[in-house]
Structure 1
Amino acid sequence: MTPISKVFYASEPTLDLAEFRRVLVESGLGETRPVDDEARLKAMLGNANLVLTARLDVEGKPIVGVARGVTDFSWVCYISELTVSVSAQGLGIGKGLMDEARRQLGPSVGISLISVPDAVGFYERIGMKRMTDAFWFSRKR
């Protein structure tokens, strides 16, 4: 990949559904997300109140990363997705998206997420603490 001169991080509450789907697929998270269910993807985006994107070099270029979360902007934010296209992985974009989330949320808001097994090391490297007392009701589909 050509060296990048700048990464643009932005809040994009009206992120295009096709761009969201593309990054999910390109990152590998398409295997664990309903990428072929347009209504569900639309609801995922529409009900998130924190949607951050990363674009390389110039504004307007296709996104290469997305952080999507639900927050009260006061106590906690749950990050539902942190996804970066494979072609842009290793460039610090995932960490940059998390840094941007922390900047926008402020120091009084905690951030939580559930990691796919292959990404656990990434979250530990960026300084997130592993929690042992998490609980889950599985979805039916």
Structure 2
Amino acid sequence: MSDTREKHAIIRYTADVVAVTDDGRVLLIKRGWAPYENHWALPGGHVDEGETGLQAAVRELEEETGVRVAEDDLRLVGVWDQPDRDPRGRYVTVTYLVTIPADTQAVAGDDARDARWWSLIDLPACLAFDHADILATVLPPTS
């Protein structure tokens, strides 16, 4: 007799934020833990129980960078769900875009070793996970 049970992946739900300034910079954090320890990444993290992806995006942005935004300021820009996007297992992330005033300060907090505004034309060579793909999809091409 063959096994006819379906095999479902365990999926973890996360939210990421592409925070940009009107003068062409994006906010990245330096990861303080594996995987991709010491690599730059978008602010974001796990969606907690009872929380929406939008609420998690607002919370994670503030926890990791000190930057506070309202839920209404964020715009959903996509869902990234490639099966191999995270070496820890199956992760699906919802990604939000927010525009921040150019003089906004960012300070590393929570799990971030550093938080820094990067010029869109001078991003780190190797970003964590598929964050380079996310940025390439979300942001306009730079020349």
Q: TM-score, normalised by structure 1?
A: 0.32
- Select the structure of larger CA radius of gyration: 2
The structure with the largest strand share of the pair is 2
Which structure is higher in RCO with an 8 Å CA cutoff and minimum separation 6?
A: 2
The structure with the largest helix share of the pair is 1
Q: TM-score, normalised by structure 2?
A: 0.32
